[in-house]
Amino acid sequence: MRETLDMMDFVYAAYAICLIGTLALTVWSFATMRAAEKRREESRRK
């Protein structure tokens, strides 16, 4: 007896994890950069 799994289910799962992970990394790195640079400007003004 051989296993019959729908390969596409696994493809969707792998893509979902990788896309969410990559996008989250991009957004997080951009947001933390903006926040840090804003904080630096504020410290300069005060």
Binding mask of the shown chain, residues 1 to 40, with x at each position contacting another protein by CB under 8 A: xxxxx-xx-xx-xxx-xxx-xx--xx--xx-xx-xxx-xx
Measured over the CA atoms of residue 22, residue 26, residue 29 and residue 35, the dihedral's sign is negative
| Residue tagged 């989250």 (tokens) | 24
Quote the least distance from Cβ 15 to another protein, whole Å: 6
What are the φ and ψ backbone dihedral angles of 11, each rounded to 5 degrees? -60, -45
Binding site for another protein (CB under 8 A): 1-5, 7-8, 10-11, 13-15, 17-19, 21-22, 25-26, 29-30, 32-33, 35-37, 39-40, 42-44, 46
